[in-house]
Chain A
Amino acid sequence: MSEQETKDKRGRAAPRNQPFLEEIEAKPFWANLKEHRLTAQHCSSCSHFRFPPQALCPKCLSSEFEWAPLSGKGKIYSHVTYRRAWHPAYQDKVPYNVSLVELDEGLRMVSNVIDCEPEKVYIGMTVEVVYEDVGDYTLPKFRPVEKKA
Chain B
Amino acid sequence: MANISGKYAIVGMGETAVGKRPEASTNSLHLEAIRACLKDAGIGSDQVDGLVTNQPLNDAHRSYAVKIAHMAGITPRFATDIALGGATPCAMVQTAVMAIESGMANTVVCVHARKRATPDPTPGHPIRSGDEHWEHPWGHFSAVANHAFAAQRHMYEYGTRSEDLGHIAVACRKHACLNKNAAMRKPLTIEDHQQSRMIVDPLHLLDCCLESDGGGAILVTSRERARDFPKRAVSILGMGQHHPHSTMLDAPSITTLGGKRSSELAYQMAGLSPKDMDFAQIYDCFTITLMITLEDYGFCKKGEGKDFVKGGRIEIGGELPVNTHGGLLSQAHIEGMLHITEAVKQLRGNEVEPERQVSNAQAGIVSGHGGSLCTHSTLILGRGVR
Contact = CB atoms under 8 A, between A and B. Distances in A.
A112 B139 contact: yes
A17 B137 contact: yes
B152 A110 contact: no
Contact of A83 (B140, B200, B248, B254): B200
A108 B139 contact: no
Given A51-B249, A80-B148, A93 B139 contact: yes
Interface residues of A, number: 40
The A interface is mostly helix, strand or loop, or mixed, namely: loop
Nearest to B121: A11
A95 B145 CA distance: 13
Interface in B202-260: 202-203, 211, 247-250, 254
Interface in A1-50: 10-13, 15-20, 23
Given A10-B211, A83-B197, A108 B136 contact: no
B117 interface: yes
A147 B145 CA distance: 29
Interface in A69-88: 77-84, 86-87
B134 A52 contact: yes
Contacts of B156: 78, 123
B199 A98 contact: no
B136 A52 contact: no
A19 B142 contact: no
Range for the number of chain B residues in contact with chain A: 35 or more
A11 B119 CA distance: 6
Nearest to B247: A52
A81 B198 CA distance: 9
Interface string B120-151: 00000010000111111111111001001110
A123 B119 CA distance: 39
B201 interface: yes
A100 interface: yes
The 5 closest A-B pairs by CB, nearest first: A86-B141, A81-B201, A11-B119, A80-B148, A78-B149
Interface of A: 10-13, 15-20, 23, 51-52, 58, 77-84, 86-87, 90, 93, 95-96, 98, 100, 107-112, 118, 123, 139, 141
Interface of B: 58, 116-119, 126, 131-142, 145, 148-150, 152-153, 156, 197-203, 211, 247-250, 254
Given A98-B145, A100-B149, 16 more contacts: A10-B116, A16-B133, A52-B131, A58-B250, A80-B148, A81-B200, A83-B197, A86-B141, A87-B139, A87-B141, A100-B248, A108-B250, A110-B134, A110-B248, A123-B153, A123-B156
